[in-house]
């Protein structure tokens, strides 16, 4: 039996909590959903292996030389994964300080906060490495099948990269506490997580667009000019790339360096964990002055007040802001492509149409869930002297207004280049946004706003329907942009999905 308050005891406790949280997130309390999740996950995992095999097989047949261009490509793909790791680690580390409700119990117990912080840091590193392994394993496994077992050394690089990303995330979080205080750290950390998660991908796409007239981020890694400025093969910067490609010594050194850095950072930062966590726990307890807000309700209609309430809540929510910012950041490459190819003709912009339409649907779906299902003042709103129809219309207007403001600059740029494609994009974006909003209306279930990250648990049918509808409207927009009558096919499928979603939605009074 494990002795209480020891490192293994805390580790088992954290593992149990993480497992319960995972099961609750994917099942929502229904075992049949759990079975469906694992069955569907196995199917998707197998499909990813098939796709990876179809791409890697011809490349291996052509030969994978151990030269600088190959190392550059491997390092570039690795940096893409590392940016995702760092983004996830920064968000998870922030939650270690802010989002746990057992702090008072632990600080008042004889347990060591340093031990607790070490365990939670290890849990973050483990979860980050596990997610990255799931994303990278189809590629690695197919390389093992086609090119040989030496590619298995890549699995040792993943935990090393995860450890390094968590160490950087801890140092960034502590620096933010010192520089801006606990009140602003959570917001800034979430914004940084979104920027880091999308920043490297967007940066590579921007360089590809500006330098190589390509929308592919991999065009940069294969450029002769880019490879020419890289260091020689004997430089230590190639160590992780060589490890991935099967150099066992490089893999062991990389793993040792990553583990040592995380251990040192954990030992250094655990001293201040209790102090910083207490400061973070006090955030949000202060109340704003009523005098500053009471005049906002004077002389305004109920719908106007409701719209302003939704916008104010969206503005105040740091977790939501990071998710929304991530979606909006991915619109930057299309905007840059519009600017670079201004006046080059409609053909250069066809690829942008489905991106904008998909973004409109995803953004509207998330915001609609927050406005409709994530209403924390549900009882207050429903008992107000306002009809249910007015409340619903005000919430929908608030959601669509935010989507419109986000997409308007891109649509204006597109209109300057080709007004017909701009009209097609606007039309399909409106359809995508309204369809996603309608699905959230049909499947709305009152939940806490903090459950935004788990909104898929409420209904798998709503999640799948929303994704399918966005994809179908994006396909419709892409085909309409080239004036193809085949646009009717995805449009009809989108309408059928909407009909099926309406039929599967819960009956409402």
Q: Residue 257 above 90 pLDDT?
A: yes
CA distance to 390, 395, 404, per residue, from 303 (Å): 7, 8, 18
pLDDT of residue 40: 73
Q: Tokens 């093992």 identify what position?
A: 144
Mean pLDDT for the stretch of residues 223-244: 80
Q: What's the mean pLDDT when you consider all of the chain?
A: 76
Mean pLDDT for the stretch of residues 211-222: 55
pLDDT of residue 434: 92
Mean pLDDT for the stretch of residues 435-451: 77
pLDDT of residue 30: 62
More reliable by pLDDT, 326 or 485: 485
pLDDT of residue 426: 92
pLDDT of residue 418: 79
pLDDT of residue 290: 41
* Across 67-76, 256-265, 280-289, 443-452, least confident range: 280-289
Q: Residue 75 above 80 pLDDT?
A: yes
Q: Residue 276 above 80 pLDDT?
A: no
Query: For residues 330 and 326, what is the distance between their CA atoms, to the nearest angstrom?
Result: 7
* Across 166-175, 269-278, 339-348, 437-446, least confident range: 339-348
pLDDT of residue 460: 66
Please tell me whether residue 195 adopts helix, strand or coil conformation: helix
Q: Tokens 């209306």 identify what position?
A: 441
Task: For the beta carbon of residue 271, count every other beta carbon within 10 angstroms.
Answer: 11
Question: Which tens digit of pLDDT belongs to each residue from 156-191?
Answer: 898 899 899 999 999 998 888 888 887 778 777 877
Q: Where are the domains of the chain?
A: 7-281, 299-504
Q: Tokens 């039309």 identify what position?
A: 427
CA distance to 222, 340, 386, 506, 508, per residue, from 203 (Å): 15, 15, 48, 44, 47
Half-sphere exposure of 438 (CA within 13 A, CB side): 18
Question: Which tens digit of pLDDT belongs to each residue from 465-504?
Answer: 888 888 899 889 888 888 888 889 989 999 998 988 888 8
Task: For the beta carbon of residue 359, count every other beta carbon within 10 angstroms.
Answer: 24
Q: Residue 129 above 80 pLDDT?
A: yes
More reliable by pLDDT, 355 or 219: 355
Question: Which tens digit of pLDDT belongs to each residue from 393-435?
Answer: 888 888 888 888 888 888 888 888 778 888 999 999 999 999 9
Mean pLDDT for the stretch of residues 292-319: 63
- Asked if 431 and 473 touch (Cβ cutoff 8 Å), the reply is yes
Q: 120-131 as b/e, with b when 16 or more CB fall inside 10 Å?
A: bbbbbbbbbbeb
Question: Which tens digit of pLDDT belongs to each residue from 77-115?
Answer: 788 788 888 888 888 888 777 765 566 666 666 767 777
Question: Over pLDDT 70: what percentage of the chain?
Answer: 69
- DSSP assignment of 400-422 equals HHHHHHHHHHHHHHHHHH-HHHH
Query: For residues 353 and 350, what is the distance between their CA atoms, to the nearest angstrom?
Result: 6
pLDDT of residue 335: 56
pLDDT of residue 342: 47
What are the phi and psi torsion angles at 231 (to 5°)?
-70, 170
The rounded Cα 260 to chain-centroid distance in angstroms is: 28
Query: For residues 428 and 422, what is the distance between their CA atoms, to the nearest angstrom?
Result: 10
Q: Residue 261 above 90 pLDDT?
A: yes
pLDDT of residue 325: 58
- DSSP assignment of 46-85 equals HHHHHHHHHHHHHHHHH---SSHHHHHHHHHHHHHHHHHH
pLDDT of residue 128: 84
Question: Which tens digit of pLDDT belongs to each residue from 24-66?
Answer: 666 655 666 667 667 777 887 888 888 888 878 887 887 777 7
Range from 95-99, 312-316, 372-376, 401-405 that averages highest in pLDDT? 401-405
pLDDT of residue 327: 58
What are the residues whose beta carbons fall under 8 Å from the beta carbon of 509, sequence distance 6 or more?
Answer: none
- Asked if 425 and 357 touch (Cβ cutoff 8 Å), the reply is yes
CA dihedral (246, 250, 256, 257) in degrees, to 10, reads -120
What are the residues whose beta carbons fall under 8 Å from the beta carbon of 409, sequence distance 6 or more?
Answer: 335
Q: What is the pTM of this model?
A: 0.66
CB pairs under 8 A, 24+ apart, for 229-233? 230/68, 230/72, 233/67, 233/68, 233/71
């Amino acid at each position: 039996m494990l002795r209480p308050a020891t490192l293994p005891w805390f580790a088992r406790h954290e593992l149990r909590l993480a497992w319960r949280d995972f099961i609750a997130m994917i099942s929502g309390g229904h075992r049949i959903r759990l079975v469906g999740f694992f069955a569907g996950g196995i199917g998707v995992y197998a499909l990813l292996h098939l796709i990876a095999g179809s791409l890697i097989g011809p490349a291996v047949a052509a030969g994978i030389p151990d030269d600088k261009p190959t190392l550059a490509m491997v390092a570039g793909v690795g940096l893409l994964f590392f940016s995702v790791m760092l983004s996830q680690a920064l968000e998870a580390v922030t939650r270690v300080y802010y989002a746990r409700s057992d702090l008072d119990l632990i600080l008042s117990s004889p347990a060591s906060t340093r031990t607790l912080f070490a365990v939670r840091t290890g849990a973050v590193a483990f979860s980050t490495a596990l997610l990255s392994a799931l994303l990278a394993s189809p590629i690695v496994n197919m390389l093992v099948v086609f090119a040989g077992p030496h590619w298995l050394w890549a699995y040792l690089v993943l935990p090393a990269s995860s450890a390094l990303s968590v160490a950087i995330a801890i140092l960034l979080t502590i620096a933010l506490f010192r520089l801006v205080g606990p009140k602003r750290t959570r917001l800034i950390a979430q914004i940084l997580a979104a920027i880091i998660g999308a920043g490297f991908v967007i940066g590579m796409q921007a360089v590809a667009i500006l330098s190589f007239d390509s929308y592919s981020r991999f065009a940069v890694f294969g450029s002769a000019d880019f490879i020419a400025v890289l260091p020689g093969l004997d430089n230590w910067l190639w160590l992780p790339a060589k490890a991935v490609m099967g150099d066992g010594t490089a893999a062991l050194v990389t793993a040792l360096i990553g583990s040592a850095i995380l251990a040192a950072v954990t030992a250094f930062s655990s001293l201040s964990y209790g102090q910083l966590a207490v400061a973070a726990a006090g955030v949000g307890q202060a109340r704003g002055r009523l005098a500053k807000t009471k005049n906002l309700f004077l002389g305004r209609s109920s719908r106007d007040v409701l719209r302003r309430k939704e916008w104010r809540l969206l503005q105040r929510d740091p977790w939501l802001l990071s998710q929304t910012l991530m979606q909006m950041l991915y619109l930057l490459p299309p905007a840059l492509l519009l600017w670079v190819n201004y006046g080059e003709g409609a053909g250069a912009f066809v690829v942008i149409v489905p991106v904008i339409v998909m973004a409109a649907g995803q953004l509207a779906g998330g915001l609609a869930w927050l406005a409709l299902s994530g209403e924390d003042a549900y009882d207050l709103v429903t008992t107000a002297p306002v009809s249910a129809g007015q409340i619903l219309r005000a919430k929908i207007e608030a959601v669509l207004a935010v989507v419109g403001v986000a997409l308007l600059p891109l649509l204006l740029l597109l209109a300057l280049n080709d007004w017909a494609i701009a009209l097609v994009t606007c039309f399909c974006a409106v359809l995508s946004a309204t369809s996603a909003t309608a699905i959230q209306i049909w499947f709305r279930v009152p939940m806490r706003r903090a459950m935004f990250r788990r909104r898929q648990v409420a209904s798998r049918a709503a999640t799948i329907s929303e994704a399918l509808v966005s994809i179908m409207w994006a396909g419709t927009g892409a085909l309409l942009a080239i004036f193809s009558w085949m646009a009717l096919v995805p449009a009809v499928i989108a309408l059928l999905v909407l009909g099926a979603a309406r039929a599967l939605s819960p009956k409402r009074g």
